């Protein structure tokens, strides 16, 4: 089962490949607190839409792309990664646009196929290592939370008034080769920093959706200004991908497979003594956030207005264990535990988990993390 995919631009440069992962995580409380980074809980399974053309809606087939399962009110984040080129002291740079239901996650504007610099409506990798939600203020996002399309909760419905697209849309442009080679002259032979797992390959531009993304709790997260010139990006080379989100029942009926187990709640995770995470930037300029996205009502707030309870187990938490100094490395559960109890063996960590009812929920992720480091992005 595919767990990530790669945007490849071999015609621009042999190392112009961006890996993108859809990561499972805790849903942070949707309250008045601005929370720290939650851990990674493994990657969502990805499948090609074309492989299930007879089992998915016609609009999914028309758009193509990939699909993955989410439970209602589950949270997610996206990580961006590319091979580190030792000879040039950097990874190949990319401009990345992300929208949810054709609503730009950085500006709140309607989707366009071009890069806009004022206001900046895209992110830059490797400067931006991840995105957890909608950029509502400087250094604050509202977490991506899965809600049924048509329920009125999604950012798409709140801004456009329509429940039409759902899912995610992703557009990637590489840096122009001539600009890359001028900005980062080669000093020695390339050493590829890490290997690439089995992946969906997106080489070119490639519903109603069952699930859309709504604004959840507040999280401290910096979205960085483009450190390059907007003309440095090769907009003649574009890779666009639709990402369709199926709820758990739809996933079973389409693929015949069960979705991943439900994640623990933030309260369960915190009371078990596991850490949350913080990071320091390297002095990059941060974006101010979107006035449009700032006006979005969170799932909990809108639920109160609807006399609905859309977020079960939305208890506030008191965080005691924080792991800091993260920058380009997002830590998963096992890695975070090693930072907190550095000398504990895996067996001892599992013993800590077994002492709580989290064991049944987290043991599959712990085993995966120990064997293949899937919890690191």
Alpha-carbon separation of residue 21 from 40, 279, 309, 374 (angstroms): 11, 20, 30, 10
On the question of pLDDT at 45 being above 50, the answer is yes
**What's the whole-number mean pLDDT along residues 269-294?**
89
Give the model's confidence band at 3: pLDDT under 50 very low, under 70 low, under 90 confident, else very high.
low
CA pair distance 368, 33, nearest whole angstrom = 32
Q: 249 to each of 48, 207, 256, 303, how far by Cα in Å?
A: 18, 17, 10, 23
What is the number of H-type helices and E-type strands within the chain? 10, 21
For residue 166, is it left (φ>0), alpha (ψ between -120 and 50) or beta? Answer: left
In the numeric block, the tokens 């699930």 are attached to 211
What is the percentage of the chain residues whose pLDDT exceeds 70?
A: 79
Can you point out the beta strands (E) in 234-292? 239-247, 276-279
Q: Give the pair of three-digit tokens for residue 271.
A: 């009371």
Instruction: Write the pLDDT tens digit of every residue in 177-218.
Output: 999 999 999 876 554 444 444 445 454 333 334 799 999 999
* Mean pLDDT of the region 70-82: 94
Range with the lowest mean pLDDT among 153-167, 256-270, 317-331?
317-331
Whole-model pTM: value is 0.84
Residue 344 has pLDDT above 50, yes or no: no
pLDDT score for 272: 87
pLDDT at 359 over 70: no
Segment 48-59, tens digit of pLDDT: 999 999 998 888
DSSP 8-class letter at 189? -
Residue 278 has pLDDT above 70, yes or no: yes
Give the pLDDT band of residue 365 (cuts 50, 70, 90): very low
Rounded to 5 degrees, what angle do the CA atoms 175, 179, 182 make? 140
Structure tokens at 105: 């996650």
pLDDT tier for residue 326 given thresholds of 50, 70 and 90: low
Per-residue pLDDT, 210: 73
Q: What is the pLDDT of residue 196?
A: 40
330 — pLDDT class (breaks 50, 70, 90) = low
Q: How many CA atoms lie within 13 A of 227 on its CB side?
A: 14
Pick from 7-16, 139-148, 167-176, 241-250: least confident:
241-250
Q: Are 132 and 141 in contact (CB under 8 A)?
A: yes
Q: Contact, 328 vs 280, CB < 8 A? A: no
pLDDT in tens, 83-107: 889 899 999 999 999 999 999 999 9
Q: How many residues does the chain have?
A: 377
Rounded to whole angstroms, the Cα distance separating 17 from 82 reads: 6
Q: Which residues of 298-313 are buried (b: 16+ CB within 10 A; e: fewer)?
A: bbbebbeeeeeebbee
Helices within 26-83 (DSSP H only): 58-63
CA atoms of 365 and 3, how far apart (whole Å): 14
Question: How far is 39 from 375, CA to CA, in rounded Å?
Answer: 8
Mean pLDDT check: name the lowest of 151-155, 253-257, 328-332.
328-332
pLDDT tens per residue, range 162-184: 988 899 999 999 999 999 999 99
Look at residue 274 and tell me whether its pLDDT is greater than 80.
Answer: yes
Q: How far is CA 286 from the centre of its chain?
A: 19
Q: Which two tokens stand for residue 148?
A: 């049924």
- Indicate if the pLDDT at residue 16 is higher than 90: yes
Residue 340 pLDDT > 70, yes or no?
A: no
Q: Is the pLDDT of residue 226 over 80?
A: yes
The predicted pLDDT at position 277 comes to 87
pLDDT at residue 7 tops 90? yes
Beta-bridged to residue 91, according to DSSP, are 84
Q: Report the chain's terminal Cα–Cα distance, integer Å.
A: 18
Mean pLDDT of the chain: 83
């Amino acid at each position: 089962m595919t767990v990530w995919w790669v945007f490849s631009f071999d015609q621009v440069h042999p190392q112009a490949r961006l890996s993108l992962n859809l990561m499972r995580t805790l849903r942070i409380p949707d309250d008045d607190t601005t929370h720290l980074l939650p851990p990674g809980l493994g990657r969502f399974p990805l499948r090609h839409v074309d492989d299930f053309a007879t089992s998915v809606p016609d609009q999914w087939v028309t758009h193509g792309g990939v699909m993955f399962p989410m439970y209602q009110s589950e949270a997610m984040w996206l990580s961006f990664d590319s091979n580190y080129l030792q000879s040039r002291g950097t990874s190949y740079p990319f401009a990345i646009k992300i929208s949810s239901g054709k609503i730009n996650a950085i500006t709140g504007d309607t989707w366009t196929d071009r890069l806009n610099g004022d206001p900046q409506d895209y992110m830059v990798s490797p400067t931006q290592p991840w995105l957890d939600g909608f950029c509502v203020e400087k250094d604050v996002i509202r977490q991506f939370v899965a809600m049924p399309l048509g329920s009125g909760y999604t950012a798409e419905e709140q801004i456009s008034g329509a429940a039409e697209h759902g899912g995610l849309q992703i557009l990637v442009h590489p840096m122009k080769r001539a600009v890359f080679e001028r900005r980062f002259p080669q000093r020695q032979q390339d050493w590829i920093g890490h290997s690439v797992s089995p992946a969906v390959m997106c080489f070119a531009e490639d519903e109603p959706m069952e699930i859309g993304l709504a604004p959840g709790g507040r999280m401290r997260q910096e979205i960085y200004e483009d450190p390059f010139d907007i003309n440095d990006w090769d907009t003649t080379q574009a890779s666009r991908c639709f990402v369709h989100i199926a709820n758990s029942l739809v996933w079973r009926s389409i693929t015949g497979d069960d979705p991943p187990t439900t994640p623990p709640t933030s309260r369960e995770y915190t009371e078990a003594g596991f850490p949350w995470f913080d990071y320091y930037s390297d002095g990059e300029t941060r974006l101010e956030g979107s006035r449009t996205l700032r006006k979005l009502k969170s799932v909990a707030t809108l639920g109160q207005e609807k006399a609905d309870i859309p977020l079960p187990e939305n208890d506030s938490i008191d965080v005691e264990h924080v792991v800091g100094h993260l920058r380009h490395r997002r830590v998963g559960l096992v890695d975070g535990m090693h930072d907190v109890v550095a000398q504990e063996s895996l067996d001892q960590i599992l013993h800590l988990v077994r002492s709580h009812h989290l064991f049944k929920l987290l043991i599959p992720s712990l085993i995966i993390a120990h064997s293949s480091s899937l919890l690191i992005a």
